[in-house]
Amino acid sequence: MTKFGEHWEKGFRDLVIDAGIKAIGDAGLQGNEISAGYVGNMASGSLIGQEHVAALIADHMGLNPIPVTRVEAACASGGVALRQGYMAVASGMHDFVVVGGVEKMNDLDTNEVSQILGGAGDQEWELFMGATFPGLYALMAKRHMHEYGTTEEMLAAVAVKNHEHGSRNPYAQFQNKITIDMVLKSKVVADPLKMFDCSPITDGAAAVVLAPVEIAKKYQEQPIEIVASAQASDTIALHSREKLSEIKATQIAAKRAYEMAKIGPKDVDVAEVHDCFTIAEIMAIEDLGLFRKGEGGKATLEGRTGLGGEVAINTSGGLKAAGHPVGATGVKQAVELTWQLRGKAEGRQVADAEIGLAQNVGGSGATSVVHIFKRV
């Protein structure tokens, strides 16, 4: 992956090529051995006026004439691209597949970017009526607080932990530690969410190479196996959901993923979850079954989700501190977990991590993708 952050000196195509070349090198391959490519990208059409980005990337990486495909599922674009790559290998159609994710977001001003990101929700029924994404997640936070007694301190504890983790990750956008007090005193964006409850606007790219396990072993000393890939959908608009304090698509995808991997939540050593807002991480660790419903906030405040806790959540710094270049996030989660399972997450290594889980959400939860990774 590239460093996540503000890349004023690099264009869209530079970012993804940097990440892609690193991934292909790490896999022990030459570019001409790759037989298909996928790229997760949400909004290049609006952000940089460019569609057809898979073809653009293949061209500039010298990967022609292999088939390359862009996948879009809002903020879950990266995770969904990973799943398509997984199926391309599983179908027997391709042996070596590169999966990238990229977003270049800083070239427009924040208001324009916010409007474009609104395309992840229901433009006609939500955004056009004045809702914003911080607003939608604020509704979920309010309801979670009402139902389970979750507090603003608990929300803040997610951000504090993820900045602490980010401070250990050279690829993270933010490497500064923060305190609960700083979060609580930061500017309100959409009550109860404050500036430090929100993930930033980020440029960045990430990539991985997939292959059948037996083949991967011949090329890489430490291949990591994808033991489950599951995805589910829910209503695009929040107002159509049965409950606001959970992401049902995550619950359904997680259930399928655990069945596919033949493991349970207790077996997970390290997880990258979708903390676009602090409340999202609390819902995620509950919906994934890592903590009981309603106890995610308390567990976070008690330090049970940090390095050295029961299950390390977002060792990369998460979307909050590592940054959230939308289409890249789901692939970055796979990169971080690969490093963790290989024992190569220097400065933030979870001791003896064997099983990692990634959860990537699109919009306010209309798409959720769960992957489980295992040391081979």
Q: Which residues are catalytic?
A: 75, 324
Report how many residues bind its own copies under the rule CB under 8 A. 67
Q: Candidates 8, 9, 92, 109: give the one binding its own copies (CB under 8 A).
A: 92
**Neighbour tally for 25: CB within 10 Å:** 12
Provide the token pair at 307: 């390095």
Q: Dihedral of the CA atoms 286, 330, 199, 338 (nearest 10)?
A: 80
Quick one: which H or E segment has residue 53? helix 53-61
Provide the token pair at 270: 């390290």
Comparing CA positions, the residue from 165, 134, 169, 174 lying closest to residue 279 is 134
The answer to whether the CB of 82 falls within 8 A of the CB of 331 is yes
* Nearest-approach distance from CB 234 to its own copies, in angstroms: 5
Given the complex with its own copies, which of 39 and 299 has the nearer CB atom?
A: 39
Q: Does 84 bind its own copies (CB under 8 A)?
A: yes
Q: Candidates 16, 17, 71, 99: give the one binding its own copies (CB under 8 A).
A: 71
Distance from C-alpha of 237 to C-alpha of 234, rounded to nearest angstrom: 9
Distance from C-alpha of 42 to C-alpha of 362, rounded to nearest angstrom: 10
DSSP-derived 3-state class of residue 364: coil
Residue that has been written with the tokens 């970012």 in this structure: 15
Q: Would you give the DSSP letter of residue 126? A: I
Given the complex with its own copies, which of 151 and 235 has the nearer CB atom?
A: 235
Provide the token pair at 132: 């914003």
* Nearest-approach distance from CB 257 to its own copies, in angstroms: 12
Q: Which residues contact residue 218 at a Cβ distance below 8 angstroms, ignoring those fewer than 6 apart?
A: none
Given the complex with its own copies, which of 30 and 64 has the nearer CB atom?
A: 64
Contact pattern from residue 278 through residue 317 relative to its own copies, giving x for each residue in contact according to CB under 8 A and a dash for the rest: ----------------------------------------
Quick one: which H or E segment has residue 87? helix 77-90
Given the complex with its own copies, which of 229 and 338 has the nearer CB atom?
A: 229
Q: Candidates 162, 169, 231, 314: give the one binding its own copies (CB under 8 A).
A: 231
Q: Candidates 164, 233, 263, 294: give the one binding its own copies (CB under 8 A).
A: 233
Provide the token pair at 148: 């389970």
Distance from C-alpha of 319 to C-alpha of 152, rounded to nearest angstrom: 19
Q: Candidates 17, 23, 27, 54: give the one binding its own copies (CB under 8 A).
A: 54
Q: Candidates 98, 189, 190, 232: give the one binding its own copies (CB under 8 A).
A: 232
* Nearest-approach distance from CB 313 to its own copies, in angstroms: 24
Give the footprint of its own copies on residues 94-153 (CB under 8 A): 115-116, 118-124, 127
* Nearest-approach distance from CB 181 to its own copies, in angstroms: 36
**CA atoms within 13 Å, Cβ hemisphere of 322:** 34
Q: Does 7 bind its own copies (CB under 8 A)?
A: no
Q: Does 11 bind its own copies (CB under 8 A)?
A: yes
Q: Candidates 64, 110, 176, 179: give the one binding its own copies (CB under 8 A).
A: 64
Amino acid occupying residue 58: A
CA distances from 311 to 178, 227, 265 (A): 21, 19, 10
Q: Does 211 bind its own copies (CB under 8 A)?
A: no
The answer to whether the CB of 282 falls within 8 A of the CB of 296 is yes
Work out whether the CA dihedral 163, 204, 198, 269 comes out positive or negative: negative
Of 87-95, 98-106, 261-269, 275-283, the segment contacting its own copies by CB under 8 A is 87-95
Provide the token pair at 138: 């604020």
Give the footprint of its own copies on residues 334-373 (CB under 8 A): 362-363, 366-367, 369
Q: Does 230 bind its own copies (CB under 8 A)?
A: yes
The answer to whether the CB of 237 falls within 8 A of the CB of 125 is yes
* Nearest-approach distance from CB 66 to its own copies, in angstroms: 6
Q: Does 55 bind its own copies (CB under 8 A)?
A: yes
Q: Which residues bind its own copies (CB under 8 A)?
A: 11, 42-46, 48-56, 58-59, 63-74, 80, 83-84, 87-88, 90-93, 115-116, 118-124, 127, 229-237, 240, 248-249, 252-253, 362-363, 366-367, 369
